[in-house]
């Protein structure tokens, strides 16, 4: 792994997050920079949008004073097609050859319009089979990200999925089986993580904006006020006579149901394995009392992600990030990627 600093870039639908880390001993890092800004024109749809995103990114990099030009960026899960494929035990070369002929069976885009890769996530010598996680992204999407990065004056090293980066940052390698849940602005990413590696993922189109809309409609508030109440009071039943909790709990119930479905699906395919922990990431993780309510709904332990657990921070950095650590999980995991 290079000892040079590297930028992790999370181009979210609502915000742009950057983290710049430098290696600081074995499996440790030092934080150089962490910064964010509201996203503007982040939809992959036009040349204008591309230039707008690049200009805003360049502005953020300049204001944050980043030192590196090398970057690893995330592609949102909704742009990714992933599929776990069960195959007979074979060599890596044979797996790649077999998938090259079968890839169109598992992805919703023509093979010549996709960039795909795979990773072996399970090997069962007794059953004589392996499971590989196949991940594909449309070439035009990957090209869009590369162009944005280059226009902003950056050198792209790699692109990877948000959940892969989050798992690297927040789930210790010694945890046998867990779930990582990233509740963003427009979507909730759910991933099964085994021994620090993402082995299954899916996206649910219910997330932070749905909580805000629920508050708006139930309490008759303007969007900006609803957003402020959501972030300030969260799921605390003692605030505003419990009206916020009443408004938002149905939305959290939907998300919890999808998390439980994901857990049950995986366990049904792998007898004897049990999920004992859910790690909550993303902006919603900072909402008061969300952990207690979600843990009750799921019936398992829920913990708040701390992507900076292996990162050395000075006192001013700790103070600046206090309470917002989960917000940077994707960017931290990207900067930690060995390339």
Give tens-digit pLDDT for 237-248: 888 888 999 999
DSSP per position, 11-77: E-SSEEEEEEEEE-STT-EEEEEEEEEE--S-STT-HHHHHHHHHHHHHHHHHHT----EEEEEEPG
| Domain assignment present for 220 | no
- Computed over every residue of the chain, the mean pLDDT equals 90
pLDDT of residue 134: 92
Mean pLDDT of 218-226: 93
| Domain assignment present for 108 | yes
State whether residue 248 is helix, strand or coil. helix
| Domain assignment present for 91 | yes
Cα dihedral 304/182/257/247 (nearest 10): 80
Contact by Cβ (8 Å): 9, 72: yes
94-to-88, 90, 110, 115, 144 alpha-carbon distances in Å? 10, 6, 22, 19, 32
Query: In the predicted model, is pLDDT for residue 316 greater than 70?
Result: yes
Q: How many domains does the chain have?
A: 1
pLDDT of residue 45: 57
Sign of the alpha-carbon torsion through 144, 149, 153, 154: negative
Q: How far apart are the first and last CA of the chain?
A: 7
Q: What's the predicted TM-score (pTM) here?
A: 0.89
Where residue 100 sits, what CATH number does that domain have?
Answer: 3.30.1490.300
More confident residue, 330 or 339: 330
Share of the chain above pLDDT 90, in %: 65
| Domain assignment present for 67 | no
pLDDT of residue 249: 94
| Domain assignment present for 89 | yes
Domain of 132, in residue numbers: 81-137
- How many C-beta neighbours within 10 Å does residue 21 have? 26
| Domain assignment present for 131 | yes
Pick from 148, 158, 117: nearest CA to 7: 158
Mean pLDDT of 278-305: 92
| Domain assignment present for 229 | no
| Domain assignment present for 335 | no
Mean pLDDT of 40-59: 75
pLDDT of residue 173: 82
- How many C-beta neighbours within 10 Å does residue 117 have? 12
State whether residue 115 is helix, strand or coil. strand
């Amino acid at each position: 792994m290079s000892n040079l600093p590297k930028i992790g870039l999370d181009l979210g639908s609502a915000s742009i997050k950057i983290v710049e880390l430098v290696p600081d001993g074995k499996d440790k890092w030092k934080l150089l920079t962490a910064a964010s800004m509201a996203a503007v024109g982040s939809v992959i749809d036009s040349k204008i949008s591309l230039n707008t995103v690049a200009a805003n990114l360049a502005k953020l990099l300049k204001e944050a004073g980043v030192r590196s030009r090398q970057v690893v960026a995330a592609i949102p899960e909704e742009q990714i097609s992933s599929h776990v494929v069960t195959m007979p035990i074979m060599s890596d070369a044979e797996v790649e050859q077999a998938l090259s002929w079968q890839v169109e069976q598992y992805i919703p885009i023509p093979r010549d319009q996709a960039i795909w890769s795979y990773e072996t996530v399970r090997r069962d010598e007794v059953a004589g089979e392996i499971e590989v996680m196949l991940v594909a992204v449309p070439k035009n999407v990957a090209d869009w990200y590369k162009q944005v990065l280059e226009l902003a004056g950056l050198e792209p090293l790699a692109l990877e999925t948000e959940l892969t980066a989050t798992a690297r940052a927040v789930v210790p390698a010694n945890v046998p089986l867990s779930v990582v849940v990233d509740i963003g602005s427009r979507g909730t990413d759910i991933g099964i993580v085994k021994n620090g590696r993402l082995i299954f993922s899916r996206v649910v189109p219910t997330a932070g904006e749905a909580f805000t809309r629920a508050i708006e409609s139930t309490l008759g508030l303007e969007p900006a006020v609803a957003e402020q109440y959501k972030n300030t009071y969260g799921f605390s039943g003692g605030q505003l006579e419990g009206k916020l909790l009443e408004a938002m709990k149905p939305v959290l119930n939907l998300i919890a149901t999808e998390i439980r479905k994901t857990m049950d699906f995986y366990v049904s395919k792998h007898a004897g394995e049990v999920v004992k922990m859910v790690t909550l990431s993303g902006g919603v993780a900072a909402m008061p009392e969300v952990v207690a309510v979600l843990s009750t709904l799921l019936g398992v332990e829920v913990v708040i992600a701390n992507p900076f657990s292996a990162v050395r921070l000075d006192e001013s950095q700790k103070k600046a990030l206090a309470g917002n650590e989960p917000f940077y999980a994707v960017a931290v995991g990207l900067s930690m990627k060995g390339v």
